[in-house]
Amino acid sequence: MQPPAADVVLHNGAITTLDRRRPTAQALAVRSGRIVAVGADAEVMAHRGTDTRVVDLRGRTAIPGLIDSHTHLIRGGLHYNLELRWDGLPSLAEALKRLREQAQRTPAPQWVRVVGGFSEFQFAERRMPTLDEINAAAPETPVFVLHLYDRALLNAAALRAVGYTRATRDPPGGRIQRDRHGEPTGLLIAQPNALILYSTLAKGPTLPLEDQVNSTRQFMRELNRLGVTSVIDAGGGYQNYPDDYAVIERLHRDRQMTVRVAYNLFTQKPQGEYEDFQRWIGLTRPGAGDEFYRMNGAGEMLVFSAADFEDFLEPRPELAARMEGDLERVVRLLVEHRWPFRLHATYDESITRFLDVFERVHRDVPFAGLRWMLDHAETISPRNIDRVAALGGGIAIQHRMAFQGEYFVDRYGAAAAALAPPIPEMRRAGVPVGAGTDATRVASYNPFVALSWLTSGRTVGGLMLYPPSRRLDRTEALRLWTHGSAWFSGEQDVKGLLSEGYLGDVTVLSADYFSVPDEEVSRLESVLTMVGGNVVYAAGEFSSLAPPPLPVSPSWSPVAAYGGYARSAAGPVAQQRVHVCAHHAPQPAWWSTGCDCFAF
Ligand SMILES: [Zn+2]
Ligand SMILES: [Zn+2]
Ligand SMILES: [Zn+2]
């Protein structure tokens, strides 16, 4: 019997499914958003009908769409078009050149914003710009440069715009650097609380609503270019529910989302956290939404007193004695209402105290399979990993060490850095582990930079952090970035593998991830990304499949001039293997007619 016709068939590929029952395949078929067949060309081609779009992958490597289990897409999307990204730039000279050009392009009262995602060590010069350099690059236009979670540089025009003077007091946990007359120099330092950085950034102009919509779409397209098809959004400071979700909700309603988003709700009110969650429990429920946009519970901020900031330039913060009481009240409320939750947790000392609270709640109100997770966990001990396992928790890891590893080694030594985070121990303990970036500020959103760190053991500045035994092989790293991450939104039965019944989320790569040299992993990108069988990004020989262009708005946006993550001068890694078809001449309209090699 003829199966119902598929909407799309990809064939003649080197498909890694990550399904242990059938790890590799040549072809797959998608119908109504789901994979209906995976296997050899001939088997899958049985699903082709007259209206089926047939795509010849020409031997390229295809993988499940990547899933970032901890990022800040919703907030990042609102501002993406305002941001000059230094992510991936090889030199400070190029960064300053772009800053100078963008300052000339930016109309008052807008700022030039460089908001994290880079490390000073990625630059050939291996340093941050000086205040003199950013003042020279932008004498009139306000400039705000955020470096990770540790400092921000403001030029003189930005200092005037935010109104910082000798009379301005330092906020708790932050410092405004001053000259000998007491005047602010323009350098803001987290010590270790980044509130000073984020609250200063929040004084800048934002985009009008229509441009925020465009901006979020541009950011999702940029993630599609990098092979991402799903994320879990960890909320964020100044990202308040439901007020700051209007744009993403509109994109969802208008079916314009090209990345699936599961989102956690992040409290905004120090000492009012319980009331926030109580209100949200009345407003929504975990799982509300659909496969594109779904509520995923609470976090990553549950109570402000539990925030252990990951600034490795500063000593580890000791959490206040009130933390346990604050956290217990909120966690008890969440567990009673069966709300999954996640908690930002950098250091083992904090994690010990968090687990004391969780175990206490669990004795009264059993977790009983409730999905919960720690985020980051760079220095978690084997003992605490076992405690997470016993309570059924997961751990979402990110490549923050790729950006701050040099600082970590300076403060704690190379031996401690080699264990941070202890991924092999987490996996041995049977704890679900998901991978992600924690973008957009404390690291870049580029998943291939994270895969490069996991597999090569090096920071973006080239420092080797991990011995071979503590690096992941490429397949294991990819598994964390796909099926591993799917657990964190409870979607491990529909995402992260290329198997029948799973969502048709597929990434076709610019080169073979499994065989390129280490230094080329971070330069990979997608040439064809599908979400639910729909093409959301296509380039190179697949360009004719690409969705219609989406002009950047406003037109002066740095994204219009430079895009997002810097494309290396050499361009994406060239594909070595090309499909040579013995039976057919190269066809210009190869995708519409397909190739009938399956018949042989
Ligand atoms: Zn965090
Ligand atoms: Zn985060
Ligand atoms: Zn052919």
Model confidence over 538-577: pLDDT tens digits?
Answer: 999 999 999 999 999 999 999 999 999 997 654 554 443 4
300: CA distance to ligand 1 center in Å?
6
Q: Which residues surround ligand 2, an ion (CB under 5 A)?
A: 234, 438
The three-state secondary structure class of 309 is coil
Q: Which residues have C-beta within 8 Å of that of residue 399, sequence separation ≥ 6?
A: 437, 438, 443, 449, 450, 453, 454
d(CA 238, CA 314): 24
Question: Which ligand sits closest to the CA of 375?
Answer: 1
How many angstroms separate the CA atoms of 52 and 44, rounded? 12
CA 595 to ligand 2 centroid distance, Å: 45
Which residues crowd ion ligand 1, with CB under 5 Å? 300, 344
Mean pLDDT confidence for 425-442: 97
CA separation for the pair 34, 56 (Å, rounded): 19
pLDDT at 1: 65
Residue 596 has a pLDDT of 35
Ligand nearest to the CA of 378: 1
Angle between the N-to-C axes of helices 246-253 and 209-225, in degrees from 0 to 180, rounded to the nearest 10: 70
pLDDT tens string 56-89? 999 999 999 999 999 999 999 999 999 999 999 9
- pLDDT value for 348: 98
Tell me the average pLDDT across 516-528.
Answer: 97
Tokens found for residue 366: 């059993």
Length of the chain: 600
CB 90 within 8 A of CB 124: yes
For ligand 3, a single-atom ion, which residues have Cβ within 5 Å?
A: 581, 584, 595, 597
Band the pLDDT of 238: cuts 50, 70, 90. confident
Q: How confident is the model at residue 274 (pLDDT cuts 50, 70, 90)?
A: very high
Q: What is the pLDDT of residues 19-52, one digit of tens each?
A: 999 999 999 999 999 999 999 999 999 999 999 9
Q: What is the whole-number distance in angstroms between the Cα of residue 508 and the centre of ligand 2?
A: 28
- Measured between alpha carbons, how far is 222 from 73 in angstroms, rounded to an integer? 11
Instruction: Output the DSSP codes for 79-138.
Output: HGGGB---TT-S-HHHHHHHHHHHHHHPPTT--EEEES---GGGSTT-SPPPHHHHHHH-
**Res 568: pLDDT:** 60
Strands 184-190 and 151-154: antiparallel
pLDDT at 586 over 60: no
- pLDDT at 227 > cutoff 90: yes
pLDDT of residue 584 exceeding 90:
no
pLDDT band at 597 (very low <50, low <70, confident <90, very high): very low
- Asked whether the predicted pLDDT for residue 100 surpasses 60, the reply is yes
| Contact criterion met (CB below 8 Å) for 354 and 344 | no
Q: What is the pLDDT of residues 367-420, one digit of tens each?
A: 999 999 999 999 999 999 999 999 999 999 999 999 999 999 999 999 999 999
| Under 8 Å between Cβ of 222 and 204 | no
Asked if 445 contacts 226 with a C-beta cutoff of 8 angstroms, the reply is yes
Distance 26 CA to ligand 3 centre (A): 13
Residue 46 tokens read as: 């049985």
Percent of the chain with pLDDT over 90: 92
Separation between Cα atoms, residue 460 and residue 450, nearest integer Å: 9
CA of 13 to the centre of ligand 3 (A): 12
Q: Cα–Cα distances in Å, from 238 out to 143, 245, 277? A: 20, 11, 16
User: Which residue type, as a one-letter code, is found at position 369?
Assistant: G
Mean pLDDT of the chain: 94
Q: Is residue 524 pLDDT above 50, yes or no?
A: yes
> Tokens standing for 374?
């720690």
- What's residue 578's pLDDT? 40
User: Is residue 160 very low, low, confident or very high in pLDDT (cuts 50, 70, 90)?
Assistant: very high
Q: Output the pLDDT for position 567.
A: 77
Question: Residue type at 491?
Answer: E
**84 phi/psi in degrees, rounded to 5:** -85, 115
Centroid of ligand 3 to alpha carbon of 584 (angstroms):
5
Which DSSP symbol is given to 517? -
- pLDDT for 151 equals 97
Residues 6+ apart with CB under 8 A from 75: 235, 236, 238, 239, 244, 440
Can you tell me the mean pLDDT for 86-104? 98
Q: Closest ligand to 234 CA?
A: 2
Q: How far is the CA of 357 from the centre of ligand 3 (A)?
A: 61
Residue pair 485/435 in contact (Cβ under 8 Å)? The answer is yes
Find the ligand nearest to 346 CA.
Answer: 1
Closest CA to 568 of 144, 100, 112, 122: 122
**Model-level pTM?**
0.94
